Structure 1
């Protein structure tokens, strides 16, 4: 009795294709119901067994390595689809978030060391970045269900590394900004996810970066009561969001800076006091300000706000409208006060009016950014970052181009050493 392999091979291919397209069915097995049980002759049983073995092998190969097949480099130079080499490091990191569009074509790539596309992935960004030895990082959004389930964490990590490889990326930025309950399960799950993600990325993509974003201070900001010291040990560095500092304020409701200088310093120092190396901290600054609507304007710098209903606090920055720097520069000429400087916060502000309503805008400009950038040397930090570079004006209008250049220069003041490699 002879057995022809053709039918089994055809079945095997179709079942594997079906599994890939539709995933698990029935009892959870990708093959549930695909191969009927039979008690026919030994030849048929052998065909079924062979088909099953081949399907399982194909399925395993697809799970482990689908992203490594049918990959096409879209860069003109194929070498640009290789991750940035591990030996290329920089004395000072400049981390730039990008939220889409084509503004990246006008960035000062001589200053950037890491870029993080937040929205749709654009292969052109990767080509430009790698041509300048700039790493491109995936955004890894952590959800609370991952913290409860080791199986879900494993599947999530496998998905992240496959996406990073498929898109020729250089690491991942982990983001989790939810409050955690007192249950140790969540804290343990978060640390294990960060640790294991770092291990798999470092193993699979040599030279890759793993970043975790953290609030401006480690004292349970908005319920983010994490074990930052342990998290810092597993990451290459922490991106400290040194802005939105007045989520809840128990003082009088008046407009204020969203990133006062002394609070920026105190927040970073608090991380260092936890035992986190200063070289593991990147100072993250916001290229947006806040437009407050005044309930009453007593004088410039004394814009009283309507109270808003927040738990434990009468007012916060949520009372204001966030405005990109490029739009603030368009509002400034409409001001009836001109630009003022607050010596306490070390930031500028101005007032303007819409109909009969007063507004007060607090923001960072090249002068205040330069003052904050000096913290890098003061605390010996790893680098500086911006959320986000799209908030600058990249038009050909001369005054806009000058304002944007001034902001880039303020963010990156150490010209001689900025992009020096450590090889």
Structure 2
């Protein structure tokens, strides 16, 4: 009898996993229609998604704990919700492991009524290595499996801000782009490998960012496969020294072959930044060369910090180039980190950040 009860409960759990959690069953149907312009949002958990500008959102990559309420709501707005895909590349060099991983991802996406997968793999890979070919095959085989098992589903792959082996990610970008539906270009953390002076700099300098899209396009990658990612966060650097010219020298923290990196700082949300800038030593300043805002402040221990970030003024020229270069769309890391509170100023700042995604 006890064995039968265990068996019965197992059946109920399996069946329950596929029961539509939405109040309206039609909201569990997959979103299949393509949008001419993508606004791709990474969500890392919590309930701030309720305050997103849903008139703009087309795809939500669910990187936090699975949230059925978010899935139902996104579908009510005709927006896709896609699964996070991450795996150690060494594991999927083996064909059987790769197939098993893909099969499990498809099964999970189906059981959670999702609309595809965003593959987020940022590990170092040498060109021509077994891992190089395995990663390329993973994207191709994942796309084929999702399209076969879930017609109309979307498969995207996250790439570095430039295709030039950034952070030793020497991937076959051309073949990967041909295989999947979208490349989400992570145009941030652009100081992950500082080869020159160890100083605080912009997270995503405008000229450097836009030049990198030309690098992708020069590889003959279809611009309609590229989604520009912009940062809704910045970096807070403790200054070893702040020169009279305002240059902040930072500690040497090596990363993947570079003597210095943005790891010397801490990532800070736009919500935190907007509160901190008002009480800073300098107030908001603007670097005309990097086309980015920054400010200096002193912490409770008397340490001087320099904070670099993006705001509507620095995002707008990037968003404008999305249209001028004919890219597929724009997105951000991440949607949760604006101030969605009730204060009037915060609401205005948040609305301006969303609106900046469409250019100025």
What residue ranges of structure 1 are gaps of 5+ in the alignment?
Answer: 1-9, 22-61, 415-423
Residues 124-160 of structure 1, C-alpha deviations (whole Å, 9 max, x = no match): 0011100111000001112223332111111111111
1:89 aligns to what SS in structure 2? coil
Change (3 A) 1:162 1:362: same
Residues 286-301 of structure 1: pairs in structure 2 closer than 5 A: 286-299=231-244, 301=246
Residue 71 of structure 1 aligns with which residue? 18
How many angstroms does 1:181 deviate by?
3.9
CA distance in 2 between counterparts of 1:143 and 1:314 reads: 26
Residues 231-380 of structure 1: pairs in structure 2 closer than 5 A: 231-299=176-244, 301-310=246-255, 312-354=257-299, 355-380=301-326
CA distance in 2 between counterparts of 1:319 and 1:338 reads: 22
1:137 aligns to what SS in structure 2? strand
Number of residue pairs aligned between Structure 1 and Structure 2: 356
1:258 aligns to what SS in structure 2? coil
1:162 and 2:107 correspond: yes
- Contact 1:257–1:362, Cα closer than 8 Å, also in 2: yes
CA distance in 2 between counterparts of 1:185 and 1:226 reads: 12
CA distance in 2 between counterparts of 1:406 and 1:266 reads: 25
CA distance in 1 between counterparts of 2:199 and 2:264 reads: 10
Residue 28 of structure 2 aligns with which residue? 81
Change (3 A) 1:357 1:300: farther
CA distance in 1 between counterparts of 2:337 and 2:77 reads: 22
Q: 2:133 aligns with which of 178, 188, 193?
A: 188
How many angstroms does 1:111 deviate by?
0.4
CA distance in 2 between counterparts of 1:350 and 1:300 reads: 13
CA distance in 2 between counterparts of 1:227 and 1:301 reads: 40
Q: 1:207 aligns with which of 152, 162, 174?
A: 152
CA distance in 2 between counterparts of 1:313 and 1:79 reads: 51
Residue 383 of structure 1 aligns with which residue? 329
Residues 330-371 of structure 1, C-alpha deviations (whole Å, 9 max, x = no match): 101111211111111111111111243211111001111112
- Contact 1:68–1:165, Cα closer than 8 Å, also in 2: no
Residues 194-213 of structure 1, C-alpha deviations (whole Å, 9 max, x = no match): 11111111122121100000
CA distance in 2 between counterparts of 1:120 and 1:278 reads: 32
Residues 152-189 of structure 1, C-alpha deviations (whole Å, 9 max, x = no match): 11111111111011000000001211112455422222
- Contact 1:147–1:185, Cα closer than 8 Å, also in 2: no
Q: Under a length normalisation based on structure 2, what TM-score does the superposition of the two structures give?
A: 0.93
Residues 262-299 of structure 1, C-alpha deviations (whole Å, 9 max, x = no match): 11111111111111111110001111001111111113
What residue ranges of structure 2 are gaps of 5+ in the alignment?
Answer: none
How many angstroms does 1:412 deviate by?
2.6
CA distance in 1 between counterparts of 2:105 and 2:195 reads: 41
2:305 aligns to what SS in structure 1? strand
Residue 417 of structure 1 aligns with which residue? none
- Contact 2:284–2:295, Cα closer than 8 Å, also in 1: yes
How many angstroms does 1:397 deviate by?
1.2
- Contact 2:322–2:330, Cα closer than 8 Å, also in 1: yes
CA distance in 2 between counterparts of 1:311 and 1:193 reads: 24
CA distance in 1 between counterparts of 2:132 and 2:305 reads: 42
For the aligned residue pairs, the C-alpha RMSD in angstroms reads: 2.2
Q: Under a length normalisation based on structure 1, what TM-score does the superposition of the two structures give?
A: 0.80
CA distance in 2 between counterparts of 1:70 and 1:140 reads: 20
Change (3 A) 1:70 1:100: closer
